[in-house]
Amino acid sequence: MGTQQFIYIVLTVIAVGVAIAVGLNMYTGYDALISEIRLNKIYSIGSQASTFKKQPIAMGGGSGSFAGFEQQIDHILRDEPVEFQELEIGKDNLDLFLTLTDDSEKTTKIEAFYDAEDILELNVYDPDDKEWKTLIKRNKKDKKDKKDKVDRKKERRDRDKKEKNKKNKKNKKNKKGKK
């Protein structure tokens, strides 16, 4: 009778181990799916922005401009937990900077650059590797536009660093004040 009980215990441990492995696999797959859905939404903003710019004002478009597209973005991202949103609208360009937080409190920073055609570049900050990864990059023939985009991206990252430094200094002051 002891051998039979031992076999049941071993089989139970194996079954529990397999169930845990399957559960972790499903959760990882779900997390990746949510990230993919978010990136698809960000990508679709480009095609909707292009359509908005081409439509006349009478049809709810921008009539050659991205001005007024803010409401469209708010509508597209209404279900997303957007922590920070910055939108820079030019005559021929649209720059979007977002920070999204998921259920596990993991934050994803996204910067997307659009022109009248579609998305120019899509970058995502990977908090695990602590670096920006370019997911989409479409070559633009006009070198001036490329330089402007690089300048805008550099300005944005400089602002992020300044904001982070301000928060760190504020936190240090608060800690000193509590002591």
Residues in the chain: 179
Residue 28's pLDDT is 66
- Three-state SS string across 94-115, please? EEEEEEEECCCCCEEEEEEEEE
d(CA 140, CA 133): 19
User: What is the phi/psi pair of residue 131, to 5°?
Assistant: -150, 160
User: What is the phi/psi pair of residue 153, to 5°?
Assistant: -65, -40
The residues with which 88 forms a beta bridge, in sequence order, are 95
Residue 39's pLDDT is 74
Closest CA to 148 of 109, 108, 179, 121: 121
d(CA 40, CA 158): 27
Q: Model-level pTM?
A: 0.55
CB 111 within 8 A of CB 156: yes
Q: Where are the domains of the chain?
A: 2-178
Task: Tell the burial category of 39 from Cβ atoms under 10 Å away from its Cβ (0-12, 13-18, 19+).
Answer: middle
pLDDT in tens, the chain (179 residues): 688 888 999 999 999 999 988 888 776 666 667 677 777 777 777 778 888 888 888 888 888 888 888 777 777 777 777 766 777 877 777 888 877 776 666 777 888 888 777 778 888 887 777 888 888 787 765 445 555 666 777 777 777 777 777 777 776 766 666 65
Q: What is the token pair recorded at 137?
A: 């990059």
Residue partners of 64: CB distance under 8 A and separation at least 6:
53, 54, 91
Check the CA dihedral 62-67-157-150 and report its sign.
Answer: positive
